[in-house]
């Protein structure tokens, strides 16, 4: 069995990693349909995405989630006991609204639509996972995904996510996720595919 390079071994992220994580996720989501909808201007998209992900990380997920990163990827997970706390507070909403500008109302509507489609059962939520395109295919995203799935499996809990990139669905299906349906975002937005993965016994993973 080939040992995984240290460069894609997941590490716990701290507030000091915010700039690195913001840059990594900005590159990772540059061609994501939902992020392109939120940030339609190509010239300023990467900078806007960097501010967006840095704000989510520093104000929300680093405090209430499980955040991990590798040399070229990052993931934000929310365990069931923290999901109420991980909802953006008023200050976070104000910062995101400033970053999104005229797209802020669409963002709020999209967040409400996605939340309404979410499961009511206890679960782990994969809020964000992305790898720098320059490092895709080197196992960074898969390493982060396996790390979070192992935590959920250890607790006997399912995992839930939403994807707006159809090309990613087979990747998640490879790890045991199934598509639950489609959510058409308002205002001419893209489609979201909610996905669920049932817990696995370690011997079955």
Domains of the chain in start order, with CATH, are 8-197 (3.40.630.30)
Decide if 38 contacts 103 (C-beta within 8 A).
yes
Task: Provide the whole-model pTM.
Answer: 0.91
Q: CB-based burial of residue 156 (10 Å sphere; 0-12 exposed, 13-18 middle, 19+ buried)?
A: exposed
Decide if 197 contacts 176 (C-beta within 8 A).
yes
| Number of Cβ atoms within 10 Å of the Cβ of 75 | 28
Q: Count Cβ neighbours within 10 Å for each residue of 27-45 and write b for 16 or more, e otherwise.
A: bbbbebbbbbbbbeeeeeb
Q: Count Cβ neighbours within 10 Å for each residue of 119-144 and write b for 16 or more, e otherwise.
A: eeeebbbbbbbbbbeebeebbbbbbb
Backbone Cα Rg of the chain = 16
Measured distance CA(184)–CA(194) in Å, rounded: 11
Q: Could you read off the pLDDT tens digit of each residue along the chain, which spans 205 residues?
A: 344 344 789 999 999 999 999 999 999 999 999 999 999 999 999 999 999 999 999 999 999 999 999 989 999 999 998 877 667 778 888 999 999 999 999 888 888 888 888 888 999 999 999 999 998 888 999 999 999 999 999 999 999 999 999 999 999 999 999 999 999 988 888 999 999 999 997 656 5
């Amino acid at each position: 069995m080939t040992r995984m390079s240290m460069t894609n071994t997941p590490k716990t992220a701290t507030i000091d990693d915010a700039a690195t994580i913001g840059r990594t996720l900005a590159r990772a989501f540059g061609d994501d349909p939902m992020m392109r909808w939120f940030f339609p201007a190509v010239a300023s998209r990467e900078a806007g995405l960097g501010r967006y992900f840095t704000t989510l990380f520093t104000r929300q997920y680093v405090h209430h989630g499980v955040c991990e990163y590798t040399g070229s990827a990052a993931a934000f997970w929310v365990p069931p006991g923290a999901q109420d706390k991980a909802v953006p507070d008023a200050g976070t909403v104000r910062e995101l609204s400033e970053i999104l500008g005229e797209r802020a109302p669409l963002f709020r509507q999209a967040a409400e639509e996605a939340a309404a489609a979410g499961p009511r059962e206890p679960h782990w939520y994969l809020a964000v996972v992305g790898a720098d395109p320059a490092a895709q295919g080197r196992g960074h995203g898969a390493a982060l995904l396996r790390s979070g799935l192992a935590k959920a499996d250890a607790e006997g809990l399912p995992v839930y996510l939403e994807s707006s990139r159809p090309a990613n669905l087979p990747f998640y299906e490879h790890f045991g996720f199934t598509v639950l349906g489609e959510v058409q975002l308002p205002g001419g937005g893209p489609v979201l595919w909610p996905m669920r993965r049932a817990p696995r016994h370690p011997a079955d993973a």
